[in-house]
Amino acid sequence: MGLITIRTYKTHKYQGPGKVATKTSPNAVEKYMWAEHFRVSKARCYFPRARELRRVNKHSWDVRMSTPGGRRVLMNRILKGRFVLSH
């Protein structure tokens, strides 16, 4: 039987989790590179967007429950069968 080789195409420095170590054996997997992983894919928080605070302040659950009209709106949405009652 022939030896199975794995070709890797290097596009940038980080090659993904568990890249194959071809120097020792084809089945050996190198250690996960945590530092490079978190540096490359850094999550960002985009809250609040332009009108998102206004939407939350006007249509949130607490604001709806604080007034009789808001409680009526929530009750109408419950009776209509809405899955989302408030923002």
Contact between 1 and 24 under an 8 Å Cβ cutoff? The reply is no
CATH domain 51-87 topology? Helix Hairpins (1.10.287)
| Domain spans in the chain, listed from the N-terminal domain onward | 14-44, 51-87
**pLDDT truncated to tens, each residue of the chain (87 aa)?**
555 655 555 555 555 555 555 555 555 555 555 555 555 555 677 777 888 889 999 999 999 999 999 999 999 999 999 999 998
Phi and psi at 29, nearest 5°, equal: -120, 130
Q: Which of 62, 61, 68 is nearest to 87 (CA)?
A: 61
pTM: 0.46
